[in-house]
Amino acid sequence: MQENTLKIKKPQSKSEQKSTQQDSNPGQQQQQKSIVGMENRSEKEEHKRYLFLGDYVDRGPFSIEVITLLFALHLLYPDKVSLLRGNHESRPVNMQYGFYFECSRRFSPNLYESFQYAFYCMPVCAVVGKRIICMHGGISED
């Protein structure tokens, strides 16, 4: 079994400090794009890193777009964007709050299963600079 803790080095300067984002909502897509550099960035912002704490889905009709954008940003900027698993990144919560139905209705149940595998592989907590532990507040028993 893989370790479920993400280890993040301590920022070297104030400009490298990490920002945390809680509960990503569909209306925050533009904010998420500008945070990590898809929009114009100043030199001061070049060194920022971001840690998202979970709950990327089940927040409205654009959950697929939100999680796909965040996965893409993590792939493009692996040293700047980190994603943790929240309680909405689990099968029981997805079935109850609508992510399964969104995937099935718009695409197929196979897409939902692919997301479940990706969620299962996500770390549940991060340790920043060997001093600060970060995690979502409501991890389910799944």
Supply the residues annotated as catalytic.
88
In DSSP terms, which residues pair with 135 in a beta bridge?
125
